[in-house]
Structure 1
C-alpha cells in the first residue's frame, strides 16, 4: 500500500469552534435557520455608514451575533461581512479599527479554515502588515515607561495585539500561500517580544504569541531557523517550562472564577511544543544537549493529560449551560470594551475557562502524538514549497520472499505495512530502540480520554447544547486515539524486531476491550453533523490494528467485532487507508489458534477481495494488495491449527486464480499520481511474494 506523502501538519487549535456541518448549505437556508435575520441588514448598513459611532456599533454587533451561532455567521458571510470588516481596518477612526479587528478575530476562531481562506483572499494581510510595527513600537514604549501610559490605553493595545496575533496564527494554518506570505513578515522577533515580557503584560497576548509561534515553527523552516539562530529565544522558552521558574503571573489569576485560568499551563505546553518543533537545538545553547522529548515534552505534558476528567468536565459544562443566559439586545450593546469581553454572564465566562482547559489538553495530545511517532522523518529542513511533492523513501518492507521459503519476516512486513497506513500528520523522530519503553505509561491516561461523555458528540442531525464544548471534547477523543495509534505502531515495530519486548498480553487485551467499549458508546450514526464520529472510527481502526498486531494470536475474534470491522471496511465512505487498517486487524485476529472457525470467516472475506484474470478486485487496488499480503502471512505456517481451513477450502486454487488479476492491477498503478510510486513498489512486492508463496505451498504437497 502506498504511503501518503508527508504534508505540513495542520495542528489546528480550534478548527471549527462552533461546527455547522449539520446545517443545510446556502444563503437561503442560513436565513431560515438563523433567529437574527432581521438584525443583519442594519448591521451591514451601519458598518458602511458615515457615522463612526454606528460603524463601531456594527463591528461589535457582529461579534455578539455570531457567538455560538453558526447560522448567523453563515448569513453574515453571505452578505460579505468579511470584506466589510477588512475595509474597516483602514477606517479613519481608531476605535472602529479596534472593533473591526476584534470581530475578524472572533470570526477566525468560530469559523475555521473557510473563513480564514476568505480573509486571505480578500487581502487582509495588507492592513495587518502595518499593524505589526505599530504594536511593536507601542509595546516597547509601555515596557520602558508604563507609568507614562494610562491603564485603559495599555489594555486597549494589549487586546488589539491579542486580536492581531490570533488572526495571524489562524491564517498561518489556512494554506501554504498564506503561510508563505506570513513568513515574509518576519514575525519571530515580534512574537518573542511578548514571551520575553510575560511578567509585565497580560497573559492573553502572551499566550496568543506562543500559539502563533508554535504554528509557525511546525515544519516551517524560515521560522525554525530564526528561533534556532538566537540563543536568547531558546533561553526564554526554556525559562517558561523550567519548573524552578517562580516568576509571578498576576494577570493569570482569576480569584473570582470557580476554576483557575488555564493560560499559564497552556503557555508551558506551547513552549514545550515550540522547543520540540525547533529541535535539535544547535550549540552553543546549553539546551543543545537536552533530549527535548524525554526531558521536556513528556515531563511537562503527561501531567496535563492525566489531570482532567472529561466526564467531570462534561457534567460541569451541562450545569453551566443550564444556568439562564440571555443574548444581549443589539440596540443596547456597550461599545466600551472589545467584543470578546462584552456581555458575558458568569456562566459564560466559566464555560470559556473550561473550554480553555480542554483546549490545552487537546494541544498537549497533539504534541504528544509527535513524540509517540518513532518513525524517522525522511525530509530535511527546506523552505516551504521545496520537497513537498517528494515521494517517501522509507524502506520498511523492501525484502521479498525468496527461494520459496516461508515468510520469516512476517512481523517485520506487517509493521512496515502499518507504517504505510499511518497518516503522516506528525513530525517523525529518529528511531530509538528505547523509545517504546516510555510509551506504555501513556496508554492508561489516553484510554481515559477516549471514552465519550454526554456532550462529546451532537445528537443526530441536531446541534449540541453547547457546540464549543462538544467540538473540543470530540477533538480530544480524536487526538488521544492518534496518540494511541502511534504508540501501538511503535510497539508493533519493537515487538517485530525484538519479540521479548512484547507488551503484557493481559494489558493488551484490556486496551482492546476499552477501545471497543468506547466505540460502542460512540456509535456509528451518520449524517450531517456526525462527521466527528466517523473520524474517530477511522483513527480507531489504526489503533485496533496496532493492538491486534502486538497481541497477535492472543485476542479473541468475537463475531460482533469481526463483523463490525468488515462493515467498516465495506462502508460506502470507507477510503483505501481505512480498508487497509481493517484488513490488517482482521489478519491478526485470524491467527488465534483457538478460534479456527473465525479464521475461516476472515479468510473467506479476504479472498472475496482478490481479483480474477477477468474481474478486478471489488475492494480497490490498495486493499486488495493488503488482503493478498494478509492471506500469505496467515497461512505461511502450514503447521498452524488454522491451516486446515487453507486445505479444506482449497485456498491454494483461489490464490492461484488471482495471480493474473494481481499482475494487471499492479501494472495499472500510475506512478505519477500521489503515492503512486510507493504503491507500485508495494504492489510489485506483493505480486512476487504471492508467486513465491504459491510455489512454496505447492511444494509441500499437502
Structure 2
C-alpha cells in the first residue's frame, strides 16, 4: 500500500487552471462554444503590425481573452498565438514585450502542460534568459536608490519580473528537458534575491519567486544543492517562516502563500545542512506540521463557494471586458475589475490550502517506515497521479510493510502515537461542494474555483492516505480501542464518496483521481480498526465494482486490501461470505490462470489467509461449509507458476513477496486440513 507523493514531472493536480476536457476535440467545436471568436482575426493581424501601439493592443487583447475561457484559448492556440507572443518578447518596443510576457504568463497558468511544452519547443527560454540580468540590474538599482524612479515605473518592472518568473515556474513543471535547460541557467541566486529583498518588493513578485523556487527544489538536485550550499538562503527561508503570525503582513492572503511556499522549500531541501544553527531542526515535525495545520483549518469550502456564487451574480451585471478593448482604450494585461480581484482572492486562498495539503502529504510520505536500513528507490516518489495530477502507486513491498507491523518500530513516531490533529480538517476538505464537480450539462459558473476545489479534494485524500498509512504501519492500541473514532472517520469518508459518485462524465476526471486515492485511505483506516468496521452491502459492492472496473494493479490491490479488512468483522457472516467468494474467484484453477494480474492475485491469496487465520471466529463457518481449503488447494500450482514467472532481477521485491505468500498458502492449507481430523 503506497504513500501518496508528489509526482516528479506533474506536481499540480490540475495543470489547467481553466480545464477544457469538457469541450469536444477540435478547433471547430471550440469555435462553436466561443463567444469571442470574431475578436481573434484582428488580434492576430495586429500582432504583426508595423505600428507598435497595435502590437501592444494585440498582446493585451490576447491576454484578456485567454483568462477563464478555454474555447477561445484553443482558438488562439490554433492561430499560433504562442509563437507570435514569443516573437514579441524580442520586440523593439519595451511596452510590447512587457505585455507579451503578461499574455504568455496567463497562457502558462491557464493552459497547462501542452501550451508550456509548445512555449519550450518554440524556444521561449532564449528571450527569457536575456531578461534575467536586466531584471536583476533594475531591481538592484531600485533597492539601492529607491527614489530614482517614480512608483508607477517601478511597478511595471515588478510586474514584468513576476510574469517572467511565473513562466519559469510553469516551464519547470513541463518536462525534464525544460527543467534541465532551466537548471543550466542557475536561477537560484536570481530567485533568492527576491526573497532576500522581500521588505522592499511587492509580495506578489516575491511570492512568484518562491513558487518557482519551490518547484525547482522538488526532487531536483541541482537546485536543492544550490540552496543548501548557501547558509544565507536557508536563514532567509527560516526568517520568513518564523515571522510573527500576528503581524499585519501575515494576515495578507498573499503573504500566507509566501509563508506556505517557504515551508515547502525547506521541506524540499531538508535536512538543513550544517553549519546552519537550524541544522538540528526536524523540518516536518518542527516547521511543516505545526505551521501548516492552521492553514488547512482556516477555510470553509462552503463559505468560499457562496462567495464565488455571489460574485458571479454581481459580475453578470458588468459589461464584458472585451467590449472595452479599442486602440484608444487599452487596459493593461493585468487589469482586473473589483469583482475579478475578489475572485482572485478566493482562488488564492483555495490554492494556498491546496499547496499546504501537498506539502503535508509529502511530509507524511517521508516519515520513517518500519523497515530499517533500506535505501529508497529513486522512483519511489513517482506516486500520486490523478486528473492531470496524481495517484499512489502501490507495490507489493509496500503492502508487506503493513503486514509487518509487529516488527520493532524505529524513527520519528510523533505522527503515530495518536490521531493527528489535522485529520479533522482533512475530513472537512474531502467533502464536495456545489461547485466541485458540476455536470457537463451545467458547466461551472467559475472554472478556476471548480479546478481549485477538485484539486483540494484530491490533495486532502492523498494526505489522509499518508496519515493512515503511517498510523497503520505503527499500530497503537489506544487508537484501535477507540471504536467510535474509527467508525466516524469511516462514515465521513463514505459520505464524501457517496456525494462524488461513481459516474464519471467528461470534464469530471478528478472524480476518478479521488476514487483511486480514496480506496487507499479506506484500506489504511481498515487496517487500523480491523474487525471493528461493520461492512455494508453497498460499501462492499462499490469496492468490488471499483476493483473490477480498474485495469491498474495498484488500485486493485488497495480495493482487495480494504475488502479484506471488512471481511474480518466477526459477526458479519454474510459480508464475509460475499467478499471471500469474490477473492476466491481471483485464484487460478488446474485448467485456467487467474483473471487478475500477479499483484492482485498475491494480495487476494494473502487476504484469504489473513481472514481465516483464526478458526474460532464466527464467520469461519463460511470457510468450513464452503470447503474453501479445497478451492485454495486447486490454485496452488497456478500460483506457483505465476510466482515463477516474476522476473527475479527486475521485480525482486514482488518475487520475494510472491514466494512468501506461496509458502504461507501451502502451510495454511496443511494447517486447515489438519483441523478436520
| Shared fold (TM-score, shorter chain, > 0.5) | yes
CA contact under 8 A between 1:183 and 1:223: conserved in structure 2? yes
Out of 420, 425, 434, the residue aligned to residue 445 of structure 1 is 425
Out of 351, 356, 366, the residue aligned to residue 343 of structure 2 is 351
More off after superposition, 1-10 vs 296-305: 1-10
Aligned to 1:101: 101
Cα separation, partners in 2 of 1:174 and 1:538, compared to 1, 3 Å: same
| 1:175 shift after superposition | 1.3
- Give, in whole Å, the separation in 2 of the partners of 1:671 and 1:122: 44
Aligned to 1:257: none
- Give, in whole Å, the separation in 1 of the partners of 2:653 and 2:298: 42
CA contact under 8 A between 1:159 and 1:338: conserved in structure 2? no
- Give, in whole Å, the separation in 2 of the partners of 1:327 and 1:20: 21
**2:669 equivalent to 1:694:** yes
Trace 1:384-403 onto structure 2 (pairs within 5 A).
none
- Give, in whole Å, the separation in 2 of the partners of 1:466 and 1:474: 13
Aligned to 1:372: 364
| 1:526 shift after superposition | 1.5
| 1:562 shift after superposition | 0.8
Cα separation, partners in 2 of 1:537 and 1:31, compared to 1, 3 Å: same
TM-score (norm 1): 0.88
| 1:273 shift after superposition | 0.9
**2:645 equivalent to 1:682:** no
SS at match of 2:24: coil
CA contact under 8 A between 1:461 and 1:528: conserved in structure 2? no
Aligned to 1:536: 514
CA contact under 8 A between 2:54 and 2:327: conserved in structure 1? no
Cα separation, partners in 2 of 1:207 and 1:570, compared to 1, 3 Å: same
- Give, in whole Å, the separation in 2 of the partners of 1:220 and 1:439: 33
- Give, in whole Å, the separation in 1 of the partners of 2:8 and 2:253: 28
SS at match of 1:669: coil
Trace 1:394-413 onto structure 2 (pairs within 5 A).
412-413=403-404
Cα separation, partners in 2 of 1:48 and 1:489, compared to 1, 3 Å: same
CA contact under 8 A between 1:102 and 1:338: conserved in structure 2? no
| 1:456 shift after superposition | 1.0
Cα separation, partners in 2 of 1:665 and 1:7, compared to 1, 3 Å: farther
Aligned to 1:305: 296
Which sections of structure 2, spanning at least 5 residues, go unmatched?
A: 383-392
Trace 1:29-428 onto structure 2 (pairs within 5 A).
29-244=29-244, 249=249, 261-323=252-314, 324=316, 325-329=318-322, 331-332=325-326, 338-339=332-333, 341-342=334-335, 344-373=336-365, 374-375=367-368, 378-379=375-376, 412-413=403-404
- Give, in whole Å, the separation in 1 of the partners of 2:55 and 2:128: 19
- Give, in whole Å, the separation in 1 of the partners of 2:422 and 2:311: 31
More off after superposition, 635-644 vs 352-361: 635-644
SS at match of 2:416: helix
| 1:14 shift after superposition | 5.9
| 1:212 shift after superposition | 0.7
CA contact under 8 A between 1:3 and 1:678: conserved in structure 2? no
SS at match of 1:689: helix
CA contact under 8 A between 2:217 and 2:268: conserved in structure 1? yes
| 1:121 shift after superposition | 1.5
More off after superposition, 317-326 vs 182-191: 317-326
Aligned to 2:587: 610
| 1:519 shift after superposition | 0.9
Cα separation, partners in 2 of 1:380 and 1:224, compared to 1, 3 Å: farther
**2:647 equivalent to 1:661:** no
| 1:510 shift after superposition | 0.3
SS at match of 1:146: coil
**2:518 equivalent to 1:521:** no
Which sections of structure 1, spanning at least 5 residues, go unmatched?
A: 253-259, 386-390, 399-409, 417-429
More off after superposition, 231-240 vs 613-622: 613-622
Aligned to 1:466: 446
Taking only aligned residues, the RMSD between alpha carbons, in angstroms, comes to: 2.8
Aligned to 1:419: none
CA contact under 8 A between 1:463 and 1:529: conserved in structure 2? no
Aligned to 2:386: none
CA contact under 8 A between 1:452 and 1:518: conserved in structure 2? yes
More off after superposition, 470-479 vs 373-382: 373-382
Out of 563, 572, 580, the residue aligned to residue 586 of structure 1 is 563
| 1:657 shift after superposition | 1.1
Aligned to 1:17: 17
CA contact under 8 A between 2:397 and 2:653: conserved in structure 1? no
- Give, in whole Å, the separation in 1 of the partners of 2:19 and 2:309: 18
CA contact under 8 A between 1:436 and 1:494: conserved in structure 2? yes
| 1:19 shift after superposition | 0.8
SS at match of 1:436: coil
- Give, in whole Å, the separation in 1 of the partners of 2:283 and 2:91: 46
Aligned to 1:420: none
Cα separation, partners in 2 of 1:85 and 1:456, compared to 1, 3 Å: same
Aligned to 1:488: 468
> What is the number of equivalent residue pairs in this alignment?
656
Aligned to 2:625: 648
Cα separation, partners in 2 of 1:414 and 1:660, compared to 1, 3 Å: farther
CA contact under 8 A between 1:60 and 1:335: conserved in structure 2? no
More off after superposition, 523-532 vs 478-487: 523-532
| 1:501 shift after superposition | 5.5
Cα separation, partners in 2 of 1:525 and 1:4, compared to 1, 3 Å: closer
Out of 533, 548, 555, the residue aligned to residue 555 of structure 1 is 533
CA contact under 8 A between 1:616 and 1:661: conserved in structure 2? yes
Cα separation, partners in 2 of 1:334 and 1:322, compared to 1, 3 Å: farther
CA contact under 8 A between 1:456 and 1:470: conserved in structure 2? yes
| 1:681 shift after superposition | 3.1
| 1:654 shift after superposition | 0.9
| 1:555 shift after superposition | 0.6
| 1:610 shift after superposition | 1.3
Query: Deviation string for 1:594-623 (max 9, x for gaps)?
Result: 111111111001111112233222232221
CA contact under 8 A between 1:221 and 1:381: conserved in structure 2? no
